[in-house]
Amino acid sequence: MNNAIALSRNQAFTNMQAIFWGGLMAGVLDAVNGIIAYGTQGFNPIQVLQYIASGVMGKSAFQGGLATAALGAVFHFLIAWVAAALFVLASRRLQVLKTHAVPAGLLYGVAVYFFMNYFVLPLSAVAPAAFQLGLFLNGVIGHALFVGLPISVFARRAE
């Protein structure tokens, strides 16, 4: 309860707190968005998390049950915290990222989407998938709103 109260106040955070909370919020919101988006394609939440683990494990991740789903969740949050750390540390040097946190965060989320989908995923063991416009738009907009924006809002409050 105290953490929720502290988050609701307009207080300053340390860099580590901004990274932790920004990454956590981005991870949760992005996971929910992904589960909903891929749920419309017939995937259950376990399969969505196993898909993330398949970046390292390949197709065998889908036979691993809850263990590989948990590994996918760990990977997902590690990626979210790395994304948050990069933005928070950049905002220490580039003040514009704090003074214009909303547009900077939205653009950062889009950049994260393109980096992950067109650089990281092709280098991973994830099986290539056919392009689907709806999932693409959901990914771009979802990363802007649910990844970049929460990270930038917490980064803005870091001192």
pLDDT in tens, 117-147: 999 999 999 988 899 999 999 999 999 999 9
Average pLDDT taken over every residue of the chain: 94
Share of the chain above pLDDT 90, in %: 90
Cα angle 61, 67, 69 (rounded to 5 degrees) comes to 60
| Rounded Cα gap, residues 158 and 46, in angstroms | 34
Task: Give the model's confidence band at 8: pLDDT under 50 very low, under 70 low, under 90 confident, else very high.
Answer: very low
Global confidence as pTM: 0.91
Whole-angstrom Cα Rg for the chain: 16
Task: Give the model's confidence band at 9: pLDDT under 50 very low, under 70 low, under 90 confident, else very high.
Answer: low
